[in-house]
Structure 1
């Protein structure tokens, strides 16, 4: 790959490599399948490096490991260029760019766990994941009068209209300016919010065919997601456009550091509830209001005694206050963190560059951004 131009901003490149490998393995696999020259099936794929001209992907086949280079097709930000490659590859495969399928839920109860965290109890006719920590659904901010069971049990292929829309979307992504491309993506996702599945279970004695779950949502102000969550009522039917699992097997060994603000409390609660590591983690909790941190006690989640730092501060101060704590910790081997975007960026870079914790062991991600205010 020596003939390609290296990316100057190393931290930005590593951020994107970590992000797509940790959170978008299916998209990376789609890109690899689109550009491979071999007829052998690819079992797994991961981004090895990014250059100005394209992305280098390692592919694992049944009997060997190889590399595939996917040249960029548009100009713009690195993340946009990789996103376009993924979208184009998914459309080429005939799949829907909006997600991996719809899921319907019926609201059975709504209650406040704290002043601003709303718990939506739901049931589903289709299975929920057995391992739920940090599992997320991309909910459409609307409700429906009834669950269309035929759509759940017998999903149909894409209509010609949807196929045409997807191809038009890819064409626009390729030809719009970076500024207008960002507007297009924001428009496509303006009525979608990612919310965490706090817990899932089945009642084998009374309702063995019914899947139960909690969706916990941090609401704040008059944001669209907050208004939607507060407006939900019992018997409402809600729908997710896609779903995604958070991979955190790296936390099973070594001294762990866990960081979360209010938006990530449900994910962190699930991780702690399923904790397998014999070493208790260090935990840093952010909140703008002290009362929100009662979430864990009210949800009967035990925090590691003597290793919890509860920080009350505005989002703009999250990184500064977290780094003051992290610098006092003598041992940190693995990290999971979720908070505001700029704070996550500063924390991730410090952990990578100063504590030398990289890649698979450093999952520090943005759950929302002050710039776009997509918080609840």
Structure 2
């Protein structure tokens, strides 16, 4: 028996999010489910209360097939899928943390706008060639020096795998509430910041890799305080990294939307624009001065720019007013406050019929409810 998900929009949100942004994790789940086959790609086609329906394409010219992969824990849908990914990684001997650590040296800090700080950093390893929307999970601390790169000793590797297995065992036995608290605690000192630009320079006998990390600061938040405390020569560490993919923007009429947290990603997308059709662009900010972030960004010829100045809790209604005036568009990339993104995403899907891979509308952050009293 498979119980359908009654909230169709919520289910579709999860399917689109996992297929668009977590293809590596989904591939890991598919590989764990089909250990006797080499999997080329996988995509969720449906979700039930009991598990996910996945279309798996094997390596080579073999035909794709459908597989039902049951959930192993109780909880909401996001938790169930997250646990499936964690369990698959551990089952295949992978690492849940630390496998993508990087160390950067801060070479300069620049104040771009009242609330945008730019970190220029130097890296011993290359940055990605295509960097629009590429994000690093920064640990909110500084360290004295980057450790020398060395192969991991066997006993440390064994201990790490044992720790991963214990983590999966514990997650499976905790209540949903305690599980979420544990995950929040693990990630409380990690913040995702976007790589704005990357380049390399020959110096002496080696090539040195440089990058710019643009951070939108707001009040006394932990990330704002951390970025404001950094000085030239500080070493910072990242724990994870993720790419943003934009093949859907290569053709057709595109709509691009971003608030301040997504300005660096949007700026890089615009500078890498190869679609012959100029996009519609909507930029949102709480303060007018933050729009100056785009003063030195090269926009595609004839791009139609709409600037919105409004409080964060009015993002959705202001964006929808602009969208109502646009006669036709076929594909979307958008990033803003989570509830606003949800409202815009559902409007695009249900009213403007922008579906699946053409509707990349993401929540980059969540507005906190005001405290009572």
Indicate the residue corresponding to 2:139 in structure 1: 140
Partners of 1:219 and 1:225 within 8 A in 2: yes
Indicate the residue corresponding to 1:149 in structure 2: 148
1:347 to 344, 349, 357: 344
Query: 2:113, 2:325 → 1: CA distance?
Result: 31
Indicate the residue corresponding to 1:307 in structure 2: 304
Closer/same/farther in 2, CA of residues 347 and 219 from structure 1, 3 Å limit: same
Query: 1:306, 1:89 → 2: CA distance?
Result: 44
Closer/same/farther in 2, CA of residues 8 and 207 from structure 1, 3 Å limit: farther
Indicate the residue corresponding to 2:91 in structure 1: 92
Closer/same/farther in 2, CA of residues 156 and 115 from structure 1, 3 Å limit: farther
The answer to whether residue 111 in structure 2 is matched with residue 112 in structure 1 is yes
Indicate the residue corresponding to 1:316 in structure 2: 313
The answer to whether residue 365 in structure 2 is matched with residue 362 in structure 1 is no
Query: 2:369, 2:116 → 1: CA distance?
Result: 21
Deviation at 1:94, TM superposition (A): 1.4
Please give the secondary structure, in 1, of the residue aligned with 2:107.
strand
Indicate the residue corresponding to 1:18 in structure 2: 16
Query: 2:160, 2:365 → 1: CA distance?
Result: 29
Closer/same/farther in 2, CA of residues 68 and 185 from structure 1, 3 Å limit: same
Query: 1:207, 1:326 → 2: CA distance?
Result: 53
Partners of 1:282 and 1:304 within 8 A in 2: no
Query: 2:248, 2:293 → 1: CA distance?
Result: 25
Query: 1:301, 1:208 → 2: CA distance?
Result: 31
The answer to whether residue 71 in structure 2 is matched with residue 72 in structure 1 is yes
Please give the secondary structure, in 1, of the residue aligned with 2:326.
coil
Indicate the residue corresponding to 1:296 in structure 2: 294
Please give the secondary structure, in 1, of the residue aligned with 2:353.
coil
Indicate the residue corresponding to 2:48 in structure 1: 51
Tell me how many residue pairs correspond in the alignment.
367
Indicate the residue corresponding to 1:193 in structure 2: 191
Deviation at 1:98, TM superposition (A): 2.5
Partners of 1:281 and 1:304 within 8 A in 2: no
Deviation at 1:367, TM superposition (A): 0.7
Query: 1:97, 1:138 → 2: CA distance?
Result: 14
Deviation at 1:127, TM superposition (A): 1.0
1:202 to 197, 200, 203: 200
1:225 to 216, 223, 226: 223
Partners of 2:335 and 2:362 within 8 A in 1: yes
Indicate the residue corresponding to 2:264 in structure 1: 266
Partners of 1:58 and 1:65 within 8 A in 2: yes
Partners of 2:133 and 2:268 within 8 A in 1: yes
Deviation at 1:189, TM superposition (A): 0.4
Please give the secondary structure, in 2, of the residue aligned with 1:335.
strand
Partners of 1:340 and 1:368 within 8 A in 2: yes
Partners of 2:103 and 2:237 within 8 A in 1: yes
The answer to whether residue 334 in structure 2 is matched with residue 337 in structure 1 is yes
- Find runs of 4+ consecutive structure 1 residues off by over 2 angstroms: 154-165, 204-208, 299-306
Deviation at 1:304, TM superposition (A): 5.7
Partners of 1:103 and 1:240 within 8 A in 2: yes
Partners of 1:36 and 1:68 within 8 A in 2: no
Q: Deviations over 1:244-268 (max 9, x none)?
A: 1100110010110000000000000
Query: 2:88, 2:73 → 1: CA distance?
Result: 14
Please give the secondary structure, in 1, of the residue aligned with 2:328.
coil
Closer/same/farther in 2, CA of residues 27 and 99 from structure 1, 3 Å limit: farther
